[in-house]
Amino acid sequence: MIIDVRHGDSTAIMATLDADSVDAVVTDPPYGFRLMGRHWDGGVPGVDAWAQALRVAKPGAHLLAFGATRTVHRLAVAIEDAGWDIRDTLLWLNDSGIPKTLRSEYQPIMMARKPMIGRVSVNVEAYGTGALNLDACRFDDRWPGNVIAMSKIARLDRDDGADNTHPGVKPTALMTWLCQLVTPPGGVVLDPFCGSGSTGRGAIAAGAGRFVGIDQDEEYCEIARRRVAALLRPMDSFC
């Protein structure tokens, strides 16, 4: 497993990656709230970022991007305007919102796909991408749906390998399920907004061969490196 976490602007760094080299893009980008003065959450990533993600993705590669209920429309429009095909909206039921009006009990996850070369079977044969790994993502032998009910992150998971100060950490089990859904075995997973590395941990557990993470905060990059490396140890109860 190759772990490649890079510090810097995601759009600029993606511009240095080879075209058609990534099997899946799984990410939890800024929501545009700027809560508690966090400068990195000042806006939802625009078309330029998603266009670079599209360029480096293989034909038929899937994109999964978390959003917030009140700004996900901006996320969806930017992804679509960049050239991705919107395929679905998944819901993660987590009951973790801070009550302000209605308590937020889910997070939307936009699912999109880079346009394919021909039919699904042709694209899969040529690039290994284009289809979903539905059989591998069954819950209790049930066909997987677009609503995911998984618990919030445990402290042991959050701080595995590092003292994790990131405010938006996702459970390893959730990220494993998402990465497994869209990544072929041994594939390359890209997270352009990797934060403290939850996607990288999920990529490892899902059997990816390489994880490329990018974040503009050097502190979070180092936390991500440590948390992803920690999961290379024998795995316990996270997944």
What is the reported pLDDT for 1?
Answer: 86
**Residue 142 β-bridge partners:** 139
What is the reported pLDDT for 34?
Answer: 66
Mean pLDDT of 198-206: 96
Radius of gyration of the chain, Cα coordinates, nearest whole angstrom: 16
> Coil, strand, or helix at residue 55?
helix
State yes or no: pLDDT of 225 exceeds 90. yes
- Domain assignment present for residue 235? The answer is no
What is the reported pLDDT for 13?
Answer: 98
Q: What is the mean pLDDT of the chain?
A: 91
Q: Give the lowest-confidence range in 8-12, 32-36, 134-138, 179-183.
A: 32-36
In the block, which residue shows the tokens 């749906």? Answer: 145
Instruction: Give the separation between CA 81 and CA 204, rounded to whole angstroms.
Output: 31
Structure tokens at 126: 């040529």
**CA 220, chain centre distance (Å):** 16
Query: By the 8 A CB rule, do 67 and 54 touch?
Result: no
Residue 93 sits in a domain of what CATH number? 3.40.50.150
Contacts of 219 (CB under 8 A, 6+ apart): 165
Distances (CA, A) of 120 to 59, 113, 117: 10, 12, 8
Q: How many domains does the structure of the chain reveal?
A: 1
Mean pLDDT of 19-43: 82
Instruction: Give the separation between CA 226 and CA 164, rounded to whole angstroms.
Output: 10
Nearest-5° Cα angle at 112, 5 to 94: 75
State yes or no: pLDDT of 224 exceeds 80. yes
Q: What range does the domain containing 60 cover?
A: 2-230
Structure tokens at 200: 């990288």
State yes or no: pLDDT of 39 exceeds 70. no
What is the reported pLDDT for 141?
Answer: 84
Mean pLDDT of 145-165: 89
Backbone angles phi, psi at 213, to 5 degrees: -120, 145
pLDDT tens per residue, range 180-194: 999 999 999 999 999
Nearest one of 126, 194, 120, 181 to 148, comparing CA atoms: 181
Instruction: Give the separation between CA 154 and CA 28, rounded to whole angstroms.
Output: 18
Query: By the 8 A CB rule, do 57 and 112 touch?
Result: no
What is the reported pLDDT for 235?
Answer: 46
